[in-house]
Amino acid sequence: MVVLVTGGNGQLGQALQAIAPQYNNAIEFYFASSQEADITDEASLKAVFDKVKPDFCINAAAYTAVDKAESEPEKAHHINAVGAKNLAEACKQHNTALIHISTDFVFDGKKTTPYTEEDETDPQGVYGLTKLQGELEIQNALAEYFIVRTSWLYSEYGNNFMKTMIRLASERDSLSVVDDQTGTPTNANDLAHALVQMIKSGIKEYGIYHYSNEGSATWYDFAKKIFEINNIAIDLHPIPTSAYPTPAKRPEYSVLDKSKIKKVFGMEIRAWEEVI
């Protein structure tokens, strides 16, 4: 089984690289950087697909700068929507099944119970809109796809909330963190194992799935646990979103319901507090 990973040097790509040796007997991974496999360039994708001949492609390439997207909508659309379409077309031409990573930002955040795959989408900013457009491009172009929506991704790799909190704690005596946005932190290594489990299962129930760790938290809760686990003493204060304005609006509530992925793939998912 050959698996191509686009965005191989990003946070999820690096997490997949870290766990890949555990699956050497079953899967041959090929990690392509955004330079080698530019999803916005059809010729670049064709060259990589012709070379690798993948059975599966995990698309971990994306424009993820949520606030910057508000001032760079064309760039975000080019990567998240046009790029997804190009990748879907390449997969179709090479009989490759696609696993595409999407986001909780496709929802409006107005629910108070976990979002299911059937809930209506209504993104509130450019990033969420372009990711939703990417989902739709894939569904229009391809039959063999898994779209996996996730949330609050963090790890020892790339740029993420956990690493930012640890860095800020080394620079300051006190921090204020938003306490009125609720979601679920997702360990990138757990997501990586889940994606490999989907591939190894051989199950072909294609469609949209939700994956995050179990439970829910505010950003304040998440920060508090990060400092607790790392034995960092800091004066931490909860604040409302209104006290920390950002260019892009965040969902107030974006907990994802994982019932479908657990049922279809027999997946066991750890609580977010257990895996930091």
Q: Which residues are catalytic?
A: 127
168-to-177, 217, 221, 227 alpha-carbon distances in Å: 12, 20, 16, 11
- Give the CB-side neighbour count of residue 104, counting CA atoms within 13 A: 27
- Count of beta carbons in the 10 Å neighbourhood of residue 242: 8
**Separation CA 272–CA 208 (nearest Å):** 22
Q: Where are the alpha helices (DSSP H) in the chain?
A: 11-19, 42-52, 73-77, 83-93, 126-141, 161-171, 188-201, 219-229, 259-265
Name 98's bridge partners: 57, 145
Tell me the C-alpha distance between 109 and 123, whole Å: 9
Q: Which residues of 123-161 are buried (b: 16+ CB within 10 A; e: fewer)?
A: bbbbbbbbbbbbbebbbebbeebbbbbbbbbbbebbebb
Cα angle 134, 59, 261 (rounded to 5 degrees) comes to 85
